[in-house]
Amino acid sequence: MAKAGNKSRLGSYVARSATGETYRAFVPPPLPPKPPLDMSRLYRPLDQAMKALGGIDALATLLPDVSLFLYMYVRKEALVSSQIEGTQSSLADLLLFENEEIPGVPVDDVEEVSNYVAALNHGLARMKRGFPLSIRLIREMHGILLRGGHGSNKAPGELRRSQNWVGGTRPGKARFVPPPPELVGDLLSDLEKFIHDDAQSLPVLIKAALIHVQFETIHPFLDGNGRLGRLLITLHLCSETALAHPILYLSLYFKEHRQLYYDLLQAVRTDGDWERWCEFFLDGVSEVAKQASGDAQTIIALLERDRARIATIGRAAGSALKIHAYLLKKPYLSLTKAADELGISVPTVTNAVMRMVEIGVLKEMTGRARNRLFAYTGYLAILAAGTEPLRGA
């Protein structure tokens, strides 16, 4: 039940019929919420979230190569966001797939995650060249996201022309029915205007929280809405220079609190309770930012420790250090591929890798005599935290 002061924040319902039953589709009001947000509830979590964000950017300057950290962090985000939607891939599956090895789950699942990586990288690259965060860019990313895998038959890059719903087998029994398709274009246009409305005095994190819910509520595509809605958070923060590097991703937090996440999205629609959603969102930013900072510090310590160990192995140390740097981008290593990509002979790579196995930096994963695969297990363990698939969820 909506609070009395929140009734003007509520959207409207329009009746529609399909296959002999009538259902009600929800149409959200434009942003920002009216009456305005009660910022007295949000100043404290907002301050904590902004400090945590600043800690990420400061720590990024200490990383030996922030691009390599981002390379792996983007993959972690792609994996977790796709898991929320039901894929069963693990981090190992994704990295093996990218290394042209066989993953442990159906290829469609892993291809879906790989497409997410490509869509995110496309969006970031376009924005870096000055292209605005816009519906056009979101549609481009959607086309990449659904170009293969399970959603390739769900109109990639195209706004939906039919009714969709969330939960249940048909609209009349659904947990939530988004706006009718003929209203999607205008609703997205209003959202884009809000994104670029500089007259709004809302803090950037609050604005990101509002944008995410509005996009999820409009649900403009037949598939991929959740993943794109989560991507919008990071894209908005980057476009507003609140993040120097795209390191902050909230999918892990949403995954860990997924029922509350869904309940709070719905509470905005049914009760106009934007404040509770924003509190949750800001708490998530603080938690995820601190986790990212901790991961970066742990990785820095691991790299320093392992480089010191490699320095003790004698003549093979020079080649081993090159291989160690290579492992940050490809923590699963094939001897022949590494030799080819590093421009080092296979015997030299083999000798260095075996020395790295002896000192515990690498571990052989296949047990085979030929076509062996080695893993940088310490590095993978840090990155894989929280990425276990939601089995049976």
Residue 171 included in any domain: yes
Among 36, 119, 134, which residue's Cα sits nearest to residue 75? 119
Q: Give the percent of the chain with pLDDT over 70.
A: 95
Residue 391 included in any domain: no
- Output the pLDDT for position 158: 96
Sign of the CA dihedral 119, 249, 280, 39?
negative
What range does the domain containing 196 cover? Answer: 41-295
* 212 and 253 housed in the same domain: yes
Q: CA 330, CA 353: separation in Å to the nearest integer?
A: 14
* 100 and 239 housed in the same domain: yes
Residue type, 290: K
For residue 144, pLDDT over 80 is answered with yes
Residue 96 included in any domain: yes
For residue 112, pLDDT over 70 is answered with yes
Q: Give the percent of the chain with pLDDT over 90.
A: 60
Residue 134 included in any domain: yes
* 361 and 282 housed in the same domain: no
Which run of H or of E encompasses 27? strand 21-27
* 241 and 140 housed in the same domain: yes
- For residue 135, how many other CB atoms are within 10 A of its CB? 15
* 121 and 176 housed in the same domain: yes
* 288 and 367 housed in the same domain: no
Residue 220 included in any domain: yes
Structure tokens at 253: 């937090």
195-213 pLDDT, tens digit per residue, is 999 877 899 999 999 999 9
Tell me which of 26-35, 56-65, 310-319 is least confident: 56-65
Residue 393 included in any domain: no
Among 95, 88, 81, which residue's Cα sits nearest to residue 145? 81
* 264 and 355 housed in the same domain: no
Q: CA 69, CA 299: separation in Å to the nearest integer?
A: 9
Beta bridge partners of 373: 334
| Cα 2 to Cα 12, 37, 212, 272, distances in angstroms | 13, 15, 21, 6
* 57 and 131 housed in the same domain: yes
CATH of the domain at 370: 1.10.10.10
Domain tally, the chain? 2
> Where does residue 125 rank: exposed (0-12), middle (13-18), buried (19+ CB within 10 A)?
exposed
For residue 180, pLDDT over 90 is answered with yes
Alpha helices in the chain (DSSP H): 43-60, 66-84, 91-98, 107-128, 135-145, 181-195, 204-218, 225-239, 251-256, 258-271, 274-310, 317-327, 335-342, 346-358, 377-384
